[in-house]
């Protein structure tokens, strides 16, 4: 039976008091500080009978393991967001835990996940705990649709997001393709202030983590024919083959296609994908031979390239990774949350995501309380845009179309950035 750390015990006591008083609480605890164990322990303290834990698919097994270690007496059902429609309403859940709660905070329109969570709360009337290390990673406006399903939330006087925005958002105008649009992303700090009575925040530093993270960029010469394709697509906006077409008739498409080709893959207009160059995958295989690493990739064709180079030495599940000498490959967005890669010697990024959230969350997957050092490698092509994306996300800014338009100008005649 696992023992909680002293700070976790304090949070359990605080969280129990908040849930008892308000019907919900928000555990804004940074990665690896023990959100899962803490929330399950709060359920025990509340004498819960049936607990529903909503999370990402990849995290289900680790949550079930934590439950077994905790030895709690309540019945736990763990389900991924994509399976929310399968929840049986014959069993009444008296506690609901919403993991990675920021993923239901889309705005201005409520996303499907948020609607499903609200319906669960309406039917079961459970006590609710929201979990996230980054509650509002992109905008304070993300908070409304996370908590709107809880009757006692501090914004309950607002019938919808637009009423909420009238009170808590500075709405600005943006011109997109010549058409004016409302920009709802400038939520004010009043949102966080309103949530403070219901929120328990805890950082890795407060928990005594002493890990140092070192990042290194490695450059690969991508195949010359791919560099030529990138230049041709940038100039002509279309490349026609015998059976497939690469179309970049809008700036957004050009940015995405350039991103794909930077790592040696492409997705055609038909929806089919192809590996154009194996140099990145081959470099990673040779560079890290004999080391237990975890690889983050962006596009599906990159996984195909890795499989072709690694063969049976590559796996895609944590269970196999933790019980073998194999290398694991994970898609950045699906692997950035809710999983632990503590058994990896290093993280290696085949490609990089446009999202700053992906950068900051995924790079912390190896961290544990007792780990002192994390090593991260970024594998960039010399003629690609990965380094430019990296420069944006490390500053906690998403890489956008405006960045891309400026970066196109900075490339030299060969399409290569100066990496000296």
Phi-psi region at 100: left, alpha or beta (left = phi > 0; alpha = psi -120 to 50): left
The angle formed by the CA atoms of residues 330, 335 and 340, to the nearest 5 degrees, is: 105
> For position 370, what pLDDT does the model report?
79
> What does the alpha-carbon distance between residue 31 and residue 337 come to, in Å, rounded to a whole number?
9
Is the entire prediction scored with pTM above 0.75? yes
Identify the residue whose tokens are 């990159």. 302
Residue 236's φ and ψ, nearest 5 degrees, are -95, -20
Would you give the DSSP letter of residue 223?
A: -
> For position 412, what pLDDT does the model report?
44
Can you spell out the DSSP letters for 169-217? Answer: B--EEEEETTEEEEE---B-THHHHHHGGGEEEE-HHHHT---EEEEEE
> For position 24, what pLDDT does the model report?
98
> What does the alpha-carbon distance between residue 72 and residue 238 come to, in Å, rounded to a whole number?
59
> What does the alpha-carbon distance between residue 36 and residue 213 come to, in Å, rounded to a whole number?
24
Residue 20's φ and ψ, nearest 5 degrees, are -65, -40
Which residue in 269, 156, 160, 266 sits closest to 222, CA to CA?
A: 266
Residues carrying CATH 3.40.50.10810, the chain? 6-207
CB atoms within 10 A of CB 174: 10
Residues carrying CATH 3.40.50.300, the chain? 212-410
Which residue in 47, 38, 39, 42 sits closest to 8, CA to CA?
A: 38
Residues 6+ apart with CB under 8 A from 384: 222, 258, 259, 261, 262, 263
Would you give the DSSP letter of residue 83?
A: G
Q: Where are the alpha helices (DSSP H) in 288-348?
A: 300-310, 318-322, 332-335
The angle formed by the CA atoms of residues 297, 63 and 316, to the nearest 5 degrees, is: 25
Residue 44's Cα: distance from chain center in Å?
29
> What does the alpha-carbon distance between residue 411 and residue 419 come to, in Å, rounded to a whole number?
11
> What does the alpha-carbon distance between residue 18 and residue 313 come to, in Å, rounded to a whole number?
48
> For position 329, what pLDDT does the model report?
98
CB atoms within 10 A of CB 261: 24
> For position 410, what pLDDT does the model report?
63
Helix (H, G, I), strand (E, B) or coil at 371: coil
Residue 417's φ and ψ, nearest 5 degrees, are -80, 145
> For position 79, what pLDDT does the model report?
97
The two tokens of residue 259 are 């991103």
> For position 419, what pLDDT does the model report?
43
Pick the CATH number of 6-207 from 3.30.70.20, 1.20.1050.10, 3.40.720.10, 3.40.50.10810: 3.40.50.10810
Strand residue runs (E) in 207-345: 212-220, 238-240, 245-247, 265-267, 273-275, 293-297, 314-315, 327-331
> What does the alpha-carbon distance between residue 144 and residue 134 come to, in Å, rounded to a whole number?
15
Can you spell out the DSSP letters for 102-144? Answer: GGG---SSPPHHHHHHHHHHHHH--EEEEE-SSSSSS-GGGGH
> What does the alpha-carbon distance between residue 201 and residue 217 come to, in Å, rounded to a whole number?
33
Assigned CATH for 212-410: 3.40.50.300
**Positions in the chain whose pLDDT score sits under 70:** 410-420
Q: For the purposes of burial, counting CB atoms within 10 Å of the CB of 74, is it exposed (0-12), middle (13-18) or buried (19 or more)?
A: middle
């Amino acid at each position: 039976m696992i023992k909680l750390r002293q700070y976790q015990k304090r949070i359990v006591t605080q969280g129990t008091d908040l849930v008892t008083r308000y019907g919900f609480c928000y555990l804004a605890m940074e990665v690896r500080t023990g959100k899962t164990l803490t929330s399950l322990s709060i359920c025990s303290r509340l004498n819960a009978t049936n607990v529903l834990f909503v999370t990402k698919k990849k995290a289900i097994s680790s949550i079930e393991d934590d439950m077994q270690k905790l030895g709690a007496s309540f019945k736990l059902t763990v389900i991924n967001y994509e399976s929310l429609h399968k929840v049986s309403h014959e069993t009444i859940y008296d506690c609901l835990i919403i993991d990675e709660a920021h993923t239901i905070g889309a705005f201005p329109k409520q996303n499907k996940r948020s609607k499903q969570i609200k319906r669960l709360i309406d039917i079961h009337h459970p006590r609710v705990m929201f979990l996230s290390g980054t509650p509002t990673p992109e905008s304070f406006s993300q908070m409304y649709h996370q908590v709107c399903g809880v009757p006692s939330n501090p914004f309950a006087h607002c019938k919808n997001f637009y009423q909420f925005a009238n009170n808590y958002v500075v709405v600005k105008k943006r011109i997109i393709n010549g058409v004016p649009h409302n920009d709802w992303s400038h939520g004010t700090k009043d949102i966080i202030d309103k949530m403070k009575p219901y929120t328990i925040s805890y950082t890795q530093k407060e928990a005594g983590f002493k890990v140092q993270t070192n990042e290194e960029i490695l450059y690969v010469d991508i195949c010359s024919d791919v560099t030529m394709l990138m230049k041709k697509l940038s100039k002509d906006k279309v490349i026609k083959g015998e059976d497939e077409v690469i179309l970049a008739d809008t700036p957004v498409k050009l940015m995405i296609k350039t991103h794909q080709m930077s790592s040696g893959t492409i997705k055609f207009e038909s929806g089919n994908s192809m590996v154009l160059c194996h140099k990145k995958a081959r470099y990673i295989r040779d560079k890290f031979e004999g080391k237990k690493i975890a690889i983050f990739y962006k596009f599906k064709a990159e996984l195909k390239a890795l499989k072709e180079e690694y063969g049976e030495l590559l796996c895609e599940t944590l269970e196999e990774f933790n019980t073998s000498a194999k290398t694991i490959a994970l898609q950045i967005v699906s692997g950035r949350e809710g999983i632990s890669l503590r058994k990896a010697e290093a993280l290696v990024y085949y490609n990089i995501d446009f999202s700053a959230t992906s950068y900051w969350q995924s790079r912390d997957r190896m961290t544990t309380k007792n780990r002192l050092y994390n090593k991260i490698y970024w594998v960039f092509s010399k003629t690609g845009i990965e380094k430019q994306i990296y420069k944006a996300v490390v500053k906690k800014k998403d890489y956008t179309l405006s960045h891309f338009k400026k970066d196109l100008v900075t490339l030299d005649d060969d399409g290569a950035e100066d990496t000296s």
